[in-house]
Chain A
Amino acid sequence: MTTTVAPPGTASTTPARAPRRARRWGDHLFVLPAVLFVAATVLYPLIFNIDLSFRDVGVAQIVTGGAEWVGWENYTDQLGRDEFWHALVISLLYTGLAVAVAFALGMALAVYFNQRFPGRNLMRSLLLLAWILPTVVSANVWRWMLDGSYGLINTLLEAVGLVDGDMFWLARPVPALFAVVIATAWSFTPFIMILLLAGLQGIPDTLYEAAKIDGAGAWRRFTSVTMPLLKPVNLTALLLCFISTFKTFDTVFLMTRGGPGEATMILPIYAYNEAFEFFRFDTGAVATTLMLIVPLGLSVFYFRSLRREELS
């Protein structure tokens, strides 16, 4: 893994000679555009959004501005709404399930493709296609494959006797949630596989040889050698995947739009609907601001795990 938070030590790798004040100022011009850009396109909108969340924004005030300041009213309002809590629960359920499936599959693939055999590098790369495919495309393909009457999935499931007759996945609450979880996990699995492969390659072969001599079978070697040594990498991969999945919007939006009913109404879609369907930009701002707590909270653990990985 090459993701890095600059460790404190890297400052010493810059040229050591004492810079003049003018030079040091000049060096900052290299970073200035990026800082200004992020300030203008990320930090300013975020602060603007928080400001919106404290105002009573009607349709007219979207363009003209000048919406009235109402304090915490929007927040108490939002926190009292069942729909908001429902969306939060669905979001956590969807994310948790998708991460669990993607992690289990990603781990299985990583262990398999960590073995030495001809063509493994090509196959690993090919699997990544699922990850880089635009979500709009994969969501559409999954919708077609899950079609009740003519979908490929139903045909396959009927062949092994798991489904009898037409099964309309996206029209029923629990199957719909299951369907978006599978579609999401399909995209994320190769990503997890690559992250875990990097970790697996760091485990010396001699440890497996030793375990083999001690009479450990394949499963025992996995639980007693691979898993403990992979712990820091696992943690990083899980956190990264959880954060990415939690903020995913496209897959669910394109497959179910949050339906049927509210069965797959995840927070990002809920917030989007508030603003862009019902033109309630103030409550949309509240929902997005509250939603930010989950990824930002988890990112603290993510950075810690990154640092630990670097130190080890």
Chain B
Amino acid sequence: MTATAARRRRGWLSVGGVLITIAYLLPVYWMLATSLKDSSDIFATPPDLFPSPITLTSYTETVVNHAGIGRGLLNSTVIAVGTTVVTLAVAVPAAYALARLRVRFVALLMLLFLVVQMIPAVNLALPMFVIFSRADLVNSYVGLILANCSLAIPLAITILRPYFLSVPGEVIEAAKIDGCTTWTAFLRVALPVSVPGLITVAVISFLGAWGEFVFGLALASDEGMQPITVVLAGLTNSFGTRWNDLMAVSVVVALPIIVVFVFLQRYIVGGLTAGATKS
């Protein structure tokens, strides 16, 4: 009897969990539902919980035909991929050395990388604008990638170091005895066993740069260079009450994040709490 009671209790807890999840993610559903409505349906009172009829006009006409959106998506892709590549190249060897090699000031450097993550983006965007103006880096991919890396690299190091700490020192020592240099032991022994950590860092760097707003706003005044987040913010004014169009663009901006999240969720969940903050 008690076993049945316990099972029934777990069943009710599941039902409750589903209801909580649905209620909590209502804004996400509302974004999607609105994007599938036509212009008159969005102003229905009371609002239609389900779009009827379902229409793709906002996507096929607004999203596809608006030149700024395509350009913004391209810019964001370049910036996010660039940030991810540079972050991996710089942060991975550093995290490895801080975990496994004989370097000095380990505690101090880790503290530095953590403190850096507490800095508001505006604090960096302001001086960067002045510095980049003088170096002709405003409105350039290089400038935007550098800006994004400033916070992505310290975050990546904080996430990665524990992964390398879990690689047994003996394995690396054994490789060295077999004739590996420090560098080849890193490449052939430490990296292959740390692939999950590398994926986590790559995903988090990409997601961070894709959703980044402040650097894009401050360092890309030229519309052709703006990331999609800044483009979307601009459309907020020009679209006015065309909420279905605005939500369709929002869905497109959120889509890469949602896709990556669905497929790589197990890599993200650990990494999200490992780093200090969302930039």
Contact = CB atoms under 8 A, between A and B. Distances in A.
A229 interface: no
B126 A141 contact: no
Nearest to A192: B273
Contact of A31 (B109, B211, B276): B109
A15 B172 contact: yes
Contact of B30 (A24, A141, A194): A141
A183 to B, nearest CB: 9
A219 B242 CA distance: 47
A174 to B, nearest CB: 22
B114 interface: yes
A133 B232 CA distance: 14
Contacts of A144: 30-31, 34, 243, 246-247
Interface of B: 10-11, 13-14, 16-18, 20-21, 24-28, 30-31, 34, 42-47, 89-91, 93-94, 96-98, 100-104, 106-107, 109-116, 118-131, 133-134, 146-147, 149-151, 153-154, 157-159, 161-162, 165, 169, 172-173, 182, 186, 207, 210-211, 213-214, 217-218, 229, 232-233, 236, 243, 246-247, 250, 253-254, 257-258, 261, 265, 268-270, 272-278
Given A37-B153, A112-B16, A137-B254, A145 B27 contact: yes
Contacts of B257: 132-134
15 contacts: A6-B98, A33-B94, A38-B154, A42-B150, A42-B154, A109-B24, A112-B20, A118-B11, A119-B14, A123-B21, A128-B268, A133-B28, A141-B31, A150-B47, A194-B272
A135 B18 CA distance: 25
Contact of A46 (B127, B207, B261): B127
A34 B101 contact: no
Given A42-B119, A126-B25, A292-B123, A136 B103 contact: no
Contacts of B130: 48, 52, 62, 281
Nearest to B122: A268
Contacts of B211: 132-137
A132 B157 contact: no
A302 B109 CA distance: 17
A150 B94 CA distance: 52
A307 B172 CA distance: 28
Contacts, number: 329
B29 to A, nearest CB: 10
Nearest to A274: B126
A48 B120 contact: no
A136 B253 contact: yes
Interface string A232-270: 000000001001101101100110000000000000100
A44 to B, nearest CB: 8
A6 B110 contact: yes
Given A118-B14, A244-B278, A250-B214, A131 B128 contact: no
Contacts of A34: 90-91, 93-94, 153, 157
A1 B17 contact: no
A136 B27 contact: no
Interface string A187-222: 001110011001000000000000000000000000
A173 interface: no
B91 A45 contact: no
A186 B27 contact: yes
A135 to B, nearest CB: 6
B222 to A, nearest CB: 14
Interface stretch (A71-79, A81-89, A96-104, A283-291): A283-291
Interface of A: 1-8, 10-11, 13-15, 19, 23-24, 26-28, 30-31, 33-35, 37-38, 41-42, 44-46, 48-49, 52, 62-63, 65, 109, 112-113, 115-120, 123, 125-138, 140-145, 147, 149-150, 152, 155, 186, 189-191, 194-195, 198, 240, 243-244, 246-247, 249-250, 253-254, 268, 271-272, 275-276, 281, 284-285, 288-289, 291-292, 295-296, 298-299, 302-303
Nearest to A30: B97
Contacts of B94: 30-31, 33-35
A280 B134 CA distance: 17
B182 A26 contact: yes
Nearest to A188: B278
B156 to A, nearest CB: 9
A38 to B, nearest CB: 6
Given A3-B158, A31-B97, A128-B272, A134 B27 contact: no
A130 to B, nearest CB: 7
Given A31-B109, A152-B30, A275 B129 contact: yes
B126 A150 contact: no
Given A112-B16, A244-B277, A15 B126 contact: no
Nearest to A299: B118
A52 B127 contact: yes
Q: Which of A189, A285, A299, A303 is most buried by chain B, counting CB atoms within 10 A of its CB?
A: A299
A134 B274 contact: no
Given A38-B112, A63-B134, A244-B277, A127 B25 contact: yes
The 6 closest A-B pairs by CB, nearest first: A134-B211, A30-B97, A247-B120, A34-B94, A41-B150, A117-B13
B132 to A, nearest CB: 10
A30 B126 contact: no
Nearest to A300: B115
A117 B14 contact: yes
B27 A138 contact: yes
